Each structure stands twice: as structure tokens, then as C-alpha cells.
């Protein structure tokens, strides 16, 4: 006769097997928790370090801004100076246009012809109206011939002749209207 | 035979027999909570701070660059031209400067101004604020004048007018020159007259800058303009250093009141 009868042998085997499996699961879950905890700590520390870095950058920005504000009068005068130079560029360009045209026309027609009147019109003063005065009709005839010359038309293609008049002293005047080309200021070589 | 009835879940039995599993479940739950509540927010926050750092670093670099430029600007040769450029293109209506330069130019060239006319418009408001009626960046002041002198003097006058401060251009000209009968050229020595309209420009553009905006850079064209300005002559407004008195006559004529050095008229002095 057997000494004892084990009615739960199968169950015991099942429980032992289950507990062994549970131990494995416990091990893996502990490792997972550990890893996640480490990640959390690393993320927290890096956030803290980055925040410190950001604070120092912001503090440096503040001190640099204060330093710039202290130099405000210099910045103001220099900025206005630069803007004024831009405006002067336009004004010089427009005037150089006129000066070059007047110099050209004064020399082109030779002695005995002078520019006696001039005025500007147009949005950017690009239309120059002037009168050429000549001592006599022979000089004026020379002017008429020269107005047709290719050299003049190449330099100022848009030129219109106006009225011809003669005053009591015998001086002949011819009105001309010229559209001045756009000019770009260039450094003299 | 009857089927085995499903046994209800016994928590105590479960905890007793499968303690390790219960702990493992607890650990998994804790891991999930840690991940969702701590790790992910911290990582997100770190990424945001990193992006902010990149942006602020860039801003800091710009600010440092600007500060460095500001510190060095006073040593640049262009900086010395600031006053001259301001005199050439003033930020106000240069009425006095124009009249002063006109006087200086007439003295130098020797012409005689027979007539001049100027309409400066609004010179001052109650709030001293400028009312811009110009082309935005600049406005102009017109001066009409008639001058007389030899042809050479008139030429000199016109040349000098355009090379003194403030920046002035002859916008209209009417010249009455005398021709020499023999040479058919202009008689340089005979008296001639001219009517001119000059336009003097001044700066009116409002300018605003921000702390992070870099300083404007001077271009090659700006350098060319500065070279052109080198041939200009700056006309300074004369400074009044003494008080010009009108005499020392006692205008009050009060009895028993004597101003030092005052001349008392012989008329009857009124009494208080």
C-alpha cells in the first residue's frame, strides 16, 4: 500500500511551471523599468542642462542689447548718414546727367554758340529744355547741320527742335528739348 | 458527465500562487506611467529648448556682430564725413544755410545779386514737427534770383553754386550774354546778366531701426558719392559770439532810476 496519495500532483507541476515563467517575466519587466527610468533621468538632466544653457544665452543677449543701446547715438548718426548717401546718389546721378549734357552741347557746337536758357521737367528731371544762342545766321546754320550729325544722335537720340527766334541785337536762339538717358555713377579710373 | 464549471477568479489565490507575475504587472504599469508622464514630456521639452537655443544663438550672433561693427565704426574714414554729409543734405529746411552760401558764392565770384525771391513755406509748427510735402526721402527749397556780372563771373557763380553745401542744383537758367562782334564769341569781359532758379535739397525720410537690424553697409556707389563730395565746400553758418546792442539810451526814462552808462534825454522825465 502507498504511504500517501498526492491528489494535486498535476496542479503542483502546473504551478511550478507557471512560477518559473513568472520569474522570467518579472526579470524582463524589471529590466524595462530600469531602462525607462534611466531614459527619464537622462532626459531630465539634459533638459535641465539645456535650460541653463538657454538662460546664459538670454543673459548674454540682454547685456549685448544694453551695450548696443549705449551706442545708440552713434548708430543713429551713422544710419542717417547712410540713408542720406543713398539720396545723394540719386541727386548726383540726376545732376551729372544734366552737367554732362550741358558740357557736351556747349563744346559740340563750337565757339559762338552758348546755352542761354535751360530748364528741367519730368518726374526725375529727365527732360532738359535749353536754348542755343548764336551771334549770326551763319553760326546758326552750322548748328542746324550739326544737329543732324550721327555723333549727336548717338549720344542723345531723343532730341527735338523747337522754335527759332531772333532778338533786336541780331542774336538767333533755337530751342531744343532733350530726353536725358539714365546715368549710373561710376568710379573714375 | 457534467462539464467542469468555470471557477471564478480568486485574487488572493492568484497573488499567493503567482506573486512574481503580479509584481511584474505592477512593474510594467509603472514603466508605462514613467514613460508617458516623465520620459516623453522631458524629451519633448528638451527638443523645444534645443530649437530655442539654436534660434537665440543666431540672434545673439547678430547682436554681437552689430555691437562689434558699432565699436569699430568710429575708426572708419567714412565716419569723419558724417558732419559734412549732414551739411550737404540737412535734415531740416536749410533756409539760413542757403542764404549764407548764396552770400559766400556771390562774394567769391564777384557777381551782384539784383533780386532774389524765396518762399520757404512752413518753417516751424507749434509742435516743431516737420510736415512732409516732398518725394518721401527728400524735399526741396526753391530760390529765384537775378545776378549780374561778366560772363566769366556768371560761369564761376553757376559752378560754385553747385559745389557748396547745402546741395543745390540750378534748375532753370536764363542768360543774357553779349557777343563780341569781331570774334563772334561771347564777350567775356562785358557785363551780362542771368536769372536763375536754384533748388536746394534736404532730407525728410523718417528712419526707424530695431536692435537686431544690422548697420547699413556702404556700397561702391556711396564711396563714389563721398569722393564727389570731396570737391564740395562746406559753408558754415557764422556764430554770433557777442550781443549786438542798440545803444545805451534809457528808454524807460523813470526818475531816480539810472542805468550804468545810460544817456538821459533832456526831455522832461516822468515821475512815478
Which residues of chain B have a CB within 8 Å of the CB of A78? 73, 79, 82, 215-216
> Model confidence over B46-96: pLDDT tens digits?
999 999 999 999 999 999 999 999 999 989 888 888 999 999 999 988 888
ipTM above 0.85, yes or no: no
Q: Residues 6 or more apart from A7 whose CB is under 8 A from it?
A: none
Mean pLDDT (whole number) for A51-72: 95
**Phi and psi for A163 in degrees, rounded to 5?**
-80, 150
Higher pLDDT, B237 or B175: B175
Flag if B225 and A50 touch (Cβ within 8 Å): no
> Model confidence over A21-52: pLDDT tens digits?
999 999 999 999 999 999 999 999 999 999 99
Residues A99 and A160 in one domain: yes
Residues A24 and A66 in one domain: yes
Residues B117 and B178 in one domain: yes
Flag if B88 and A85 touch (Cβ within 8 Å): no
Residues B43 and B152 in one domain: no
Residues B224 and B90 in one domain: yes
**Range of A45's domain?**
8-70
The total of structural domains in chain A comes to 2
Is A170 a domain residue? yes
Is A22 a domain residue? yes
Higher pLDDT, B240 or B223: B223
Q: Is A137 touching B (CB cutoff 8 A)?
A: no
For residue A189, the model assigns a pLDDT of: 45
Residue of B nearest to A62 (CA): B60
- How far, in Å, CA of B158 to CA of B154, rounded? 6
User: pTM for this one?
Assistant: 0.71
Residues B107 and B223 in one domain: yes
Is B174 a domain residue? yes
Residues A58 and A13 in one domain: yes
Cα–Cα distances in angstroms (integers) from residue B204 to residues A183, B163, B201, B215, B245, in the given order: 24, 22, 10, 20, 37
Which residues of chain A have a CB within 8 Å of the CB of B94? none
pLDDT at B26 > cutoff 50: yes
Residues B117 and B23 in one domain: no
Residues B108 and B68 in one domain: no
**Range of B34's domain?**
19-75
Q: Is A44 touching B (CB cutoff 8 A)?
A: yes
Residues A42 and A101 in one domain: no
Mean pLDDT (whole number) for B136-153: 87
Share of chain A above pLDDT 70, in %: 92
- Of the ranges A5-9, A48-52, A72-76, B203-207, which one carries the lowest mean pLDDT score? A5-9
Is A103 a domain residue? yes
Is A79 a domain residue? no
Angle (CA) A147 A153 A156, round 5°: 105
Residues B165 and B190 in one domain: yes
Residues A150 and A98 in one domain: yes
- ω into B166 cis (within 30 of 0): yes
Strands A172-179 and A159-166, bridge-based pairing? antiparallel
- How far, in Å, CA of A78 to CA of B216, rounded? 8
> Model confidence over B235-268: pLDDT tens digits?
776 666 666 666 666 666 666 666 566 555 444 4
Is A56 a domain residue? yes
Tell me which DSSP letter residue A71 carries: T
Residue A126 belongs to domain with CATH number:
3.30.1360.100
Residues A64 and A131 in one domain: no
Max distance between CA atoms of chain B, in angstroms, equals 157
Amino acid at each position: 500500500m502507498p504511504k500517501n496519495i498526492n491528489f494535486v500532483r498535476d496542479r503542483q507541476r502546473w504551478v511550478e511551471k507557471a512560477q518559473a515563467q513568472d520569474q522570467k517575466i518579472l526579470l524582463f519587466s524589471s529590466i524595462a523599468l530600469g531602462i525607462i527610468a534611466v531614459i527619464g533621468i537622462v532626459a531630465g538632466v539634459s533638459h535641465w542642462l539645456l535650460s541653463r544653457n538657454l538662460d546664459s544665452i538670454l543673459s548674454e543677449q540682454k547685456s549685448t542689447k544694453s551695450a548696443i543701446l549705449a551706442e545708440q547715438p552713434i548708430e543713429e548718426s551713422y544710419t542717417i548718414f547712410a540713408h542720406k548717401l543713398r539720396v545723394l546718389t540719386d541727386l548726383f546721378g540726376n545732376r551729372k546727367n544734366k552737367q554732362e549734357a550741358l558740357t557736351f552741347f556747349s563744346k559740340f557746337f563750337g565757339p559762338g554758340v552758348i546755352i542761354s536758357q535751360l530748364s528741367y521737367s519730368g518726374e526725375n528731371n529727365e527732360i532738359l529744355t535749353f536754348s542755343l544762342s548764336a551771334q549770326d545766321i551763319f553760326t546758326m546754320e552750322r548748328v542746324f547741320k550739326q544737329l543732324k550729325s550721327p555723333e549727336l544722335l548717338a549720344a542723345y537720340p531723343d532730341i527735338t527742335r523747337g522754335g527759332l527766334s531772333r532778338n533786336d541785337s541780331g542774336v538767333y536762339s533755337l530751342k531744343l528739348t532733350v530726353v536725358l538717358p539714365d546715368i549710373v555713377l561710376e568710379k573714375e579710373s | 458527465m457534467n462539464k467542469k464549471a468555470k471557477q471564478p477568479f480568486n485574487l488572493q489565490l492568484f497573488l499567493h500562487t503567482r506573486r512574481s507575475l503580479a509584481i511584474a504587472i505592477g512593474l510594467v504599469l509603472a514603466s508605462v506611467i514613467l514613460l508617458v508622464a516623465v520620459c516623453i514630456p522631458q524629451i519633448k521639452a528638451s527638443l523645444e529648448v534645443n530649437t530655442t537655443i539654436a534660434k537665440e544663438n543666431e540672434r545673439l550672433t547678430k547682436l554681437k556682430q552689430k555691437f562689434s561693427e558699432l565699436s569699430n565704426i568710429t575708426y572708419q574714414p567714412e565716419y569723419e564725413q558724417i558732419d559734412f554729409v549732414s551739411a550737404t543734405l540737412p535734415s531740416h529746411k536749410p533756409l539760413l544755410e542757403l542764404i549764407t552760401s548764396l552770400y559766400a558764392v556771390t562774394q567769391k565770384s564777384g557777381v551782384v545779386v539784383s533780386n532774389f525771391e524765396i518762399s520757404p513755406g512752413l518753417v516751424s509748427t507749434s509742435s516743431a514737427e516737420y510736415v512732409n510735402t516732398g518725394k518721401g526721402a527728400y524735399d526741396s527749397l526753391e530760390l529765384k534770383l537775378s545776378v549780374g556780372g561778366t560772363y566769366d563771373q556768371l560761369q564761376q557763380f553757376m559752378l560754385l553754386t553747385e559745389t557748396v553745401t547745402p546741395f543745390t542744383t540750378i534748375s532753370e537758367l536764363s542768360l543774357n550774354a553779349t557777343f563780341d562782334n569781331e570774334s563772334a564769341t561771347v564777350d567775356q569781359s562785358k557785363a551780362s546778366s542771368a536769372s536763375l532758379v536754384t533748388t536746394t535739397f534736404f532730407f525728410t525720410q523718417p528712419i526707424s531701426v530695431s536692435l537686431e537690424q544690422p548697420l547699413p553697409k556702404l556700397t561702391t556707389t556711396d564711396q563714389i558719392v563721398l569722393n564727389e563730395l570731396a570737391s564740395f565746400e562746406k559753408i558754415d553758418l557764422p556764430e554770433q559770439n557777442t550781443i549786438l546792442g542798440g545803444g545805451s539810451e534809457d528808454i524807460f526814462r523813470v526818475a531816480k532810476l539810472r542805468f550804468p552808462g545810460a544817456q538821459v534825454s533832456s526831455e522832461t522825465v516822468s515821475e512815478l
